[in-house]
Amino acid sequence: MFEALTNKFEDLFYKIRNKGKLSPGDMDAALREIKLALLEADVNFKVVREFLDNVEKKATGEKVLESLTAYQQVVKIVNEEIIKMLGSSSGDISFVPKGPTIIMMIGLQGSGKTSSVIKLANFIKSRFQKKVSIVAADVYRPAAVLQLEDMAKNINVEVFSEGSSDPVSLTEEGVETFKKAGSDVIIIDTAGRLQVNEDMMNEIADIKRKISPHSIYMILDSMTGQEAVNIAEGFNKRVDFDGIILTKLDSDTRGGAALSVYYVVKKQIKFISDGEKIEDFGIFHPDRIASRILGMGDIITLAEKAEKVVSEKEAKKIEQKIYKNELNFEDFISQLRSIKKIGSVDKLFSMMPSANKNKIFKKASLDDRYLKRIEAIINSMTVEERRRPHIINGSRKKRIARGCGCSITEINRLLKQFDKTKQMLKQFSGLKGKTGLNFNNF
């Protein structure tokens, strides 16, 4: 999900990062790109406007433009603002201490209510070991009840459907029945309706008044366009729901609707649904989704950590050396050790932006064991060899191989890769930022 938006941001920040400092013109271009990306992702235009204002204000306030780390700072601000748009905490279910917890599901036709009812029932049943029952209050759509009963059978959940033809009384009867039967959780599936259909909205407000559900979830199709805010506003005005279940995230939707909705009605997305299987359902984590939108992985943490282990002075020194083509194995191993201080290679990669990960690391089968071997080879070199790698000849290679217990082929490979890296770093040295090390050939 959200892939396109992610790619946009990555392209954008890739451009900015290569420049280092941001000019006021860069900032305008960045804001324009963010605007287009968000609009293309179906984020409501009013929300986009406010979002951009906030990003701009913050960026100016924090003097981003004057900073050397402008890129990281813009990312941080955009990231924070997106988290704000998504709400601040992860959804969970609160059960009432006494009697059954009643949950009502509402939404437009085709948003995925019935599937979500089943998935939620299964989620509660398997995670909390609660007895869950379902009231089938969609009396309008042909075979809706049958669909519910059929799916409920698969997860061993009881469905109440044989009651009055009026959905309000039917729901009351169903809730009464399951209260007596000792259900822990009662989920009510209602008919799909348009938020502008007065009669249908009256009906759902009526059901709410009669049975006072503890939670009401609105089901929102993640592919919804600009209308998402009006839909959410319409339902919210009449039934004041508690949270949102975002469905169909297995599509390639950019999912901007999700961003808009919280911003406008201040109701959180509690759960997501992302597949045809009953298990394809889970708790929504705004922070995770935000970094996914940005495609930044956890670049912020990474940047913070890198700052701690690589001093600005050291980074400058390396950059100079790269520029003069004087990089040697001593620099290399000090960089290697810095990286190890940040964490394991796997962890490092998980914090990297995904597109760049693909561009740079796809072919590199880097793991901690491989890095250890490289370190061992370099440790077996004399100081002279580390400083002037070109003096390493056949007999020196034999000695190094004995010292670290690897083959001469491996040493040859390292030397060759080191040369290539050096050349490449020199090419990029005008553009590169803080950390000089590039893994491309390793």
Partner 1 sequence: MQKLIRNLNYIWNKFRSDRKLFWDELEEQLVAGDISIDTVARILEKVKKKSYSENINNPEKIKSLIREQVVEILEINGDNKLNVSPVSPTVFLIVGVNGSGKTTSVAKLANLFKDDGKKILLSAADTYRAAAAEQLQHYADKLGLDIVCHQKFSDPGAVVYDSIEKAQANGIDLVIIDTAGRMQTSHNLMEELKKIKKVITGRINRNADEILLVVDSTTGQNAKNQAEIFNNSLNLTGIILTKTDSTSKGGIILTIKNDLNIPVKMFTDGEKLKDICYFDPAKFADSLFS
Which residues of the chain form contacts with partner 1 (CB under 8 A)? 36, 39-42, 44-45, 108-112, 140-144, 146-148, 150-151, 194-196, 221, 223-228, 230-231, 234, 248, 250-254, 256-257, 276
- Closer Cβ to partner 1, 44 or 335, answer by number: 44
Please say whether the beta carbons of 176 and 66 come within 8 A.
no
How many Cα atoms are found within 13 Å in the side-chain-facing hemisphere of 175?
23
Q: What angle do CA 26, 259, 78 make, to 5 degrees?
A: 30
DSSP conformation class of 22? P
* Contact of 223 with 248, CB cutoff 8 Å: yes
Give the torsion through C-alpha atoms of 122, 128, 131, 132, to 10 deg: -40
- Closest separation between CB of residue 4 and partner 1, Å? 9
Residue pair 122/278 in contact by the 8 Å Cβ criterion: yes
Residues in the chain: 442
Q: Residue 412 corresponds to which amino acid? A: N
Q: How far is the CB of 201 from partner 1 (least distance, A)?
A: 13
- Kindly state the smallest distance separating residue 117's Cβ from partner 1, in Å: 12
Q: Which is nearer to partner 1, 111 or 338 (CB)?
A: 111
Alpha helix segments (H runs only) across 240-276:
256-265
- Cα(77)–Cα(121) distance, rounded to whole angstroms? 38
Strand, helix or coil for residue 98: coil
**At 112, which helix (H) or strand (E)?**
none
The alpha-helical segments, DSSP class H, found in 41-132 are 45-61, 70-86, 113-128
> Which lies closer to partner 1 via its Cβ, residue 110 or residue 182?
110
Q: Which is nearer to partner 1, 68 or 194 (CB)?
A: 194
Rg (CA), the chain: 29
Asked if 103 contacts 120 with a C-beta cutoff of 8 angstroms, the reply is yes
Least CB distance to partner 1 at residue 123 (A): 18
**Residue with smaller CB distance to partner 1, 16 or 257:** 257
Q: Compare residues 112 and 295 and give the one whose CB is closer to partner 1.
A: 112
- Tell the smallest beta-carbon distance from residue 160 to partner 1 (Å): 17
Beta strands at 268-273 and 281-283: parallel, antiparallel or unpaired: antiparallel
Closest CB to partner 1 among residues 220, 339? 220
- Is residue 76 within 8 A of residue 54, CB to CB? The reply is no
Give least dist CB 58 to partner 1, A: 23
**Residue 180: count of CB within 10 angstroms of its CB:** 8
Name the one residue in this structure whose structure tokens are 């204002």. Answer: 53
CB of 309 to partner 1, least distance (A): 40
Cα(377)–Cα(401) distance, integer angstroms? 7
Report in angstroms how near the CB of residue 109 gets to partner 1 at its nearest.
Answer: 7
Q: Which is nearer to partner 1, 244 or 299 (CB)?
A: 244
Q: Could you tell me the two tokens for 130? A: 């609660």
CA atoms of 104 and 110, how far apart (whole Å):
17
The C-alpha atoms of residue 134 and residue 306 are separated, in whole angstroms, by 52
- Residue 22 or 117 with smaller CB distance to partner 1: 117
Which is nearer to partner 1, 10 or 42 (by Cβ)? Answer: 42
Considering the complex, what minimum distance in angstroms separates the CB of residue 150 from partner 1?
Answer: 4
| Cβ closest to partner 1, residue 17 vs residue 113 | 113
| Cβ at position 146, least distance to partner 1 in Å | 4
SS3 state at 137: strand
Burial (Cβ within 10 Å: 0-12, 13-18, ≥19) of residue 380: middle
Which ranges in 240-328 belong to alpha helices (H)?
Answer: 256-265, 286-294, 299-309, 312-323
Q: Minimum CB separation from partner 1 for residue 46, in Å?
A: 8
CB 185 → partner 1: shortest distance, Å?
21
Of the pair 29, 65, the CB lying nearest partner 1 is at: 29
